[in-house]
Structure 1
């Protein structure tokens, strides 16, 4: 009986300890996927410069996978992200939006240089060869598949936008068509946590 009472008392003590409240992100925290190895990649920008995630370590990175021939999800997401940048106002300088193409066959550097900044001048398109594209997609759990249609093809791909905190801390996954105000809240929270 005494052992049972002691066990109950210790359980109550442990449960009374102050626990840290969860961080109130709107997006899903998927940081656990990268707990053992920090997330990074090596892709090329439209000017031929090799870019890594670590190049943007002092910014919050907003990263989206898609392709320029996408009829709906990709342009909608890029338009939403442009609105996010406007709402962030001066904080937008601390954010880098990266559009990673899943279609390096058609998305040439010239096309990426025209298409991506059309939505916002600070947006940067990135590409790699077939192997590099597959590797970065795998790193972020992005699935994509070519679907042949008559004389062309489309890409079926998973959607969602990654929000990556400064120095790669915190990796969040925001669902497609997330309310822009919720995206802004998450980005502001990541910026606050950087200080």
Structure 2
């Protein structure tokens, strides 16, 4: 009888603990759009600027911000990357746990060498990923990212989604950050995700 009661008590305790953990997770408030539990943007398998195959697992333990863009973008992409630099700087020592991953939507022109040099001008820790022309439609679809080539005279530009995606230290998609969002609220959100990992 005592064993049965102890067993029931332990079961109830486990259920209460689980519910409290769930409540704690639900009570977290973010400045960016909370997309925890989204069924897209789950992972990728893409080659980086050094020819190494990368997945989200490579960045476990870090808060990851993924941004889709292209090197010849005149304003939106460099603005997003500069904002990411400011976020990392504002985090202080914790900035070492904040990783920016850039996925090109223009593999036709964005060679690994060009992307590597471009990102290094912002921060040497930023990672550039290079889908092939064949891989790009699938990876964009898996993140629900829009992109389109737009002819401009003898050349072209790219229209694309300007949202940044943020993952927690366990590799779970948590936030969608709009292009218009300021640095300070993003820093708060990243700190929240880093503190939750402790």
- Give the TM interval when normalised to the shorter protein: 0.7 to 0.9
Equivalent residues in 2 for 1:78-117, closer than 5 Å: 78-117=81-120
Q: 1:170 to 1:110 in 2, by over 3 A?
A: closer
> 2-side partners of 1:53 and 1:92: how far apart?
18
* Number of residue pairs matched by the alignment: 176
> 2-side partners of 1:96 and 1:165: how far apart?
11
Which of 70, 74, 77 matches 1:67?
A: 70
- 1:31: how far off? 2.4
> TM-score with structure 1 length normalisation?
0.85
Which of 183, 191, 195 matches 2:194?
A: 191
Match in the other structure for 1:24: 29
> TM-score with structure 2 length normalisation?
0.84
> 2-side partners of 1:51 and 1:116: how far apart?
17
> 2-side partners of 1:107 and 1:171: how far apart?
28
Q: Is the 8 A contact 1:77 1:177 kept in 2?
A: no
Match in the other structure for 1:172: 175
Tell me the C-alpha RMSD between the 2 structures: 1.7
Gaps of 5+ in 1: 1-17
State the secondary structure of the residue aligned to 1:168.
coil
- 1:171: how far off? 2.1
Q: 1:51 to 1:181 in 2, by over 3 A?
A: same
- 1:140: how far off? 1.3
Gaps of 5+ in 2: 1-19
State the secondary structure of the residue aligned to 1:70.
coil
